[in-house]
A and B are shown apart, each in its own frame.
Chain A
Amino acid sequence: MAQVKERYVGQSVKRKEDAELITGQGRYTEDISIPGMLWMSVVRSPFANARIRSVDLSKARVMDGVVAAFSGKDLAGDWAAPMLMAWPVTEDIKNPPHWPLTQDIARYQGDGVAVVVAESRAAAADAAEAVEVDYEPLDPAVDMEAAIADGAPLVHEDIGTNKSYTWTLTNGDPDKVFADAPVVVKERYVIQRQIPNAIEPRAVLVQPSPAQGEFTMWSATQIPHIVRVAMTITTGIPESKLRIIAPKVGGGFGSKLQVYPEEALCLALAKRLGRAVKWVETRSENYLATHHGRDQIQEIEFAADEDGKIRGYRCRILTNMGAYLMIITPGTPLLGAFLYCGPYGGEAYHVEFTGVFTNTTPTDAYRGAGRPEATYAVERTMDALARRVGKDPVEIRRINFIPPFTEPTPSPGGLTLDSGNYAATLDRALELAGYEDLRKEQRARREQGTVKQIGIGFSTYLEMCGLAPSRVLSALRYAAGGWDAATVRLLPTGKVVVIVGTTPHGQSHVTTFAQIVADDLGVPVDDVEVLYGDTQLAPLGMDTYGSRSLAVGGVAVHRAAQKVVAKVRKIAAHELEVAEEDLEYEGGRFAVKGAPDRAKTVGELGFSAWTAHNLPDGLEPGVEETAVYDAQNFVFPYGAHICAVEVDTETGKVDVLKYVAVDDVGTIINPQVVDGQVVGGVVQGIAEALYEQAVYDENGQLLTSSMTNYEIPAAPDVPEIAVGRSETPSTTNELGVKGVGETGTIASPPAVVNAVIDALSPLGVTDIGRPMSPERVWRTIRDAKEGGAR
């Protein structure tokens, strides 16, 4: 085993995972084929709400290449239970059954009503078209506020309401604080629905081994371990007979943090037919059948002193569940429930969430999950408060920041924050943005009255990630734990294998985890292989979402490596004939104190452990250590983002001139990877502010039904992002790490919206809807000029 002196953590080690991806050798689920496999196609409801009178499969069944076709009723006996919903946020939550194929009523456009299985992809598509479903269209509930009004059509008749749950959290005495406060600002925001759009659509392949009763599923999923548990619950196939593999996965953003009907269907059909079954989602299907994100209506209030110092926070939120509760649909908004106070102080806090069923595609986690919504409400309201008390947006934030701390500190939302210096990131961002010059330019353009006006917007956010301490999850009624696991194995020839329970799909685990282990064991980073994404290989794991992989899984990796060090230390002491305490360990080498030449490397000791010729009494041969880490707290990244926009006041078109992101995500393992996550996240948030919205018409038809009119920005449509970093180690874990996968998406939307409002403030504009399409901006300007500004 080679020895290295340098440390890898903190360096921009080039990604080990790139080689196969830049040469086209990476294998995504669709790339995997099994001889003789069949293709599945799902027949989906074109209506948002319709009773299924009958399903006629006769034409489809006799078509060339068709092997089988089933309606929802035909498969009703194949299910041991409905699809799993794992987060019943209240005791009395309404959770109507969600079957892989609906049997009676189609409850959203895209709800599966039948499947066909054929010898080829084309034959399956042709046969799906030939299935004749007799629908009785019903009035749909589409708009969330209308859905909870009296007399609204019910998404699920039998539960008698479209309200799924109401969840509240109260700290302090908000009623008193609000009654006493001299200043109360109240705002209302609509967080539009979005479609996640991982560039790889979903895909599933199931290979049965009928004689053994075993099944291997490849799925484009973020959560193979959770899929396995959920599939056992839904199909009744014993968990021990199920192997789930997430091969290369082409992005997730939460949309693959899900257990989908198509996974259950491929499994059930492979079981019935005794043949491999494959399904690949088309993008059109993805827009209907892969969960959507966001979709809230928020009413938020701040109580403050006359000088703008905040005393309390109060928020009521309607949150759209769509037609069914999927894996964590009801809990997703609650991931923001503790953050409706941002990084600011105060003495009282109250939030209330009401989950609403509508005849739309189910919602669930989308990058940031609950936290972008909270951050948006808070950062917009901060600006509203600043206007109200006559302060500028920088000052209002400064006076309200929780002061710098390095020991755990409570927040008004009831969290115990790990570490923070909020003002420092704001200072750095102001410097990077050239704030004074931007204001100067803004003043000049205002004086000249130019068509293109400039605005500057802020977002000083705090988020919580690293899902999650299992006890906290239990208190929140989440059905699983939040730990994660890693195994570090020394191979006899000096190489190291690391097996992790998190499942990357772009986050660079293979490189960053190898950096951690290489430092711990003093070996070259290239000697460390990181394996993942297979329940057979990595039996313990809770997968990848909520910026948890490093803050939970990475800590498990580090602890497993430390266990390896502890074991080989015993062998070293034995071989060097000294006590363990007499050894010094550095850079992968155990040396006798005072006799540095008497030394053994981890690699040598690994070989000794393998031959087992001369081990200390009672020590087991081989070196393979597993650590399971359950954090005691979340981690809390934060930062300051500044956005400068140029608004064409004639057409309403907005261009981002400058964007600065200064984030503190704790200790940094790989700066290049961290910056990549930040930039990608910020751009996704800019897209949220300016471009993207899932639009339904009043009949529940998705109008933004393809990439041609759901506006995902491309390279020319987004700015370059200037990134600054600050590094305050987390006190939650020994690596000092936080999470970075979602910070950009959480922080950026309010920075952009605040900037546009700032640009238009001379017209009296104080609010604008999102996304800020040219037309929406144009209308806002027109209404303001006509004196209708609110």
Chain B
Amino acid sequence: MIPAAFEYERAESVDQAVQLLGEHEDAKLLAGGHSLLPLMRLRLARPSLLVDIDRLSDLEYVREAGDTIEIGALARMSDLATDQTLWKHCPLLAHVCGEVGDPQVRHRATIGGSVAHGDPASDPPTALLTLDAVLVVRGPSGERTVPAKSFFTSVFETDLGPQDVLTAVRVPKLASGTGWSYQKFHRRAIDWAIVGVAAVVERDDGHLKRAAVGLTNMGSTPLRASGVESALAGAEAAPQALAAAAEHAPEGTAPVSDTNASAEYRTELSKILVRRALEEALAR
């Protein structure tokens, strides 16, 4: 199908994009377009104006900045999935970017678009939440940073205001020797996660020094499995301890039922996948 008619402006800078967004009611940012255009084709979204920032190539980068890696919002999933810097310091995120969609989608889809869309079934937001990332936002009153944990507010809803442009993502580097895993459970390779689990663990002397566990598609936003994390605090890095901790995965979740899985099944899967994620992370 063909989208309903709209106006189109190509922004030459982030500031111009912010300004254009303010001039129209119901204006939308367009970058890679892989969240928005499918909705527009089915006429489930009908913005009056698209502000195209696809060409702002100065937002397409990965760079080291001290203890963090900064990623421009327009970095493409395919580039991130093969980025050596990212693989070195944030392998979880590089891996997860390679799990999004398919090769053609990854060639166009941007990290910023994925995050700004606020889809709880999307993988990169969970990775960013698990990694305690910080999001950089430019709006009418200038730049601000928002921690991932307060960025995602509901299904397709984020902290972004109507005139805000997400410009970058800052991710703390993982200490060397940190284990990680992303367990994406889906039926077909191309599908969104029925449930996804991200895990990052630091081990110290046979015990867990730090564990962060994130959940995809287990509620209206990406979630941290805080029950699991507290059960793991200082726990032994042994199968029984991991399995016991994984039983806490459903705490605080509110998964939906759809044609691929019921909420009940998602709940069970979350426990299995958390356990498997922890096992894999510790083995890495």
- Give me the interface of A with B, judged by CB distance under 8 Å: 121-122, 125-126, 129, 282, 284, 650-651, 653, 691, 695, 703-704, 706, 708-709, 711-714, 716-717, 773-775, 778-779
Contacts and interface: CB of A to CB of B under 8 A. Distances in A.
Interface string B89-124: 000000000000000000000000000000000000
Given A126-B5, A711-B187, A773-B260, 5 more contacts: A121-B2, A282-B1, A651-B273, A709-B259, A716-B189
A691 B190 contact: no
Interface string B1-20: 11011000000000000000
Interface stretch (B49-57, B166-174, B216-224, B261-269): B261-269
Contacts of A125: 1-2
A721 B126 CA distance: 37
8 nearest interchain CB pairs? A716-B189, A775-B265, A122-B2, A717-B188, A282-B1, A650-B272, A703-B259, A695-B259
B259 A691 contact: no
A454 to B, nearest CB: 20
B71 to A, nearest CB: 27
B5 A691 contact: no
Nearest to B192: A708
A711 B258 contact: no
A711 B1 contact: no
B43 interface: yes
A653 B191 CA distance: 14
Contacts of B185: 651, 653, 774
Contacts of B262: 775
Given A125-B1, A703-B259, A713 B188 contact: yes
A363 B261 CA distance: 26
Interface of B: 1-2, 4-5, 42-43, 185, 187-191, 194, 258-262, 265, 268-269, 272-273
Contacts of A704: 259
A60 to B, nearest CB: 15
Nearest to A283: B1
Contacts of B191: 708, 711
Contacts of A779: 265
A713 B42 CA distance: 23
12 contacts: A122-B2, A129-B43, A651-B185, A651-B269, A651-B273, A709-B258, A709-B259, A711-B187, A711-B188, A716-B189, A774-B265, A778-B268
Contact of B188 (A284, A650, A706, A714): A714
Contacts of B190: 714
Contact of B261 (A703, A708, A714, A775): A775
B4 A714 contact: no
A714 B189 contact: yes
Contact of A773 (B1, B187, B268): B187
Secondary structure dominating the interface of A:
loop
B65 to A, nearest CB: 36
A129 B42 CA distance: 12
B187 A284 contact: no
A650 to B, nearest CB: 5
B252 to A, nearest CB: 22
A193 to B, nearest CB: 13
Contacts of B258: 703, 709
Given A284-B42, A651-B269, A709-B259, A691 B187 contact: yes
Given A651-B185, A714-B188, A709 B260 contact: yes
A449 to B, nearest CB: 15
Contacts of A714: 188-190
A283 to B, nearest CB: 9
Contacts of A713: 188
A284 B259 contact: no
Nearest to A41: B1
B1 A284 contact: yes
Nearest to A653: B185
A778 B260 contact: no
B272 A651 contact: yes
A289 B23 CA distance: 41
A126 B4 CA distance: 7
Contacts of A708: 191
A695 to B, nearest CB: 5
Contacts of A703: 258-259
B187 to A, nearest CB: 5
A230 B3 CA distance: 35
Contacts of B189: 714, 716-717
A775 B258 CA distance: 11
A287 to B, nearest CB: 12
In this complex, the member of A703, A717, A775 whose beta carbon has the largest number of chain B beta carbons within 10 angstroms is A775
Contacts of B194: 774
B38 to A, nearest CB: 8
B169 to A, nearest CB: 26
In this complex, the member of A121, A703, A709 whose beta carbon has the largest number of chain B beta carbons within 10 angstroms is A709
Contacts of B42: 284, 706
Nearest to B4: A126
Nearest to B268: A778
A152 B188 CA distance: 38
A778 B259 contact: no
A282 B1 CA distance: 6
Contacts of B2: 121-122, 125
A714 B101 CA distance: 13
B105 to A, nearest CB: 12
B5 to A, nearest CB: 7
A687 B250 CA distance: 31
A189 to B, nearest CB: 21
A286 to B, nearest CB: 12
A709 B187 CA distance: 10
Nearest to B43: A129
Contacts of A695: 259
B250 to A, nearest CB: 15
A653 B189 CA distance: 13
Contacts of B5: 122, 126
A708 B187 CA distance: 11
Contacts of B43: 129
Contacts of A129: 4, 43
Nearest to B195: A651
A714 B191 CA distance: 11
Contacts of A773: 187, 260-261
Contacts of B261: 773-775
Nearest to A122: B2
A778 B1 contact: no
Contacts of A778: 265, 268
Nearest to B38: A708
In this complex, the member of B258, B259, B268, B272 whose beta carbon has the largest number of chain A beta carbons within 10 angstroms is B259
Nearest to A709: B259
Nearest to B187: A711
B188 A691 contact: yes
Nearest to A713: B188
A778 B190 CA distance: 22
A774 B272 CA distance: 13
Nearest to B190: A714
B4 to A, nearest CB: 7
B196 to A, nearest CB: 13
A535 to B, nearest CB: 32
Contacts of A126: 4-5
Contacts of B265: 774-775, 778-779
Nearest to A125: B2
Contacts of B4: 126, 129
Nearest to A712: B188
A774 B268 contact: no
Nearest to A120: B2
A682 B194 CA distance: 27
A775 B260 CA distance: 8
A774 B1 contact: no
Nearest to A710: B259
Contacts of A284: 1, 42
A695 B1 CA distance: 23
Contacts of A774: 185, 187, 194, 261, 265
Nearest to B260: A709
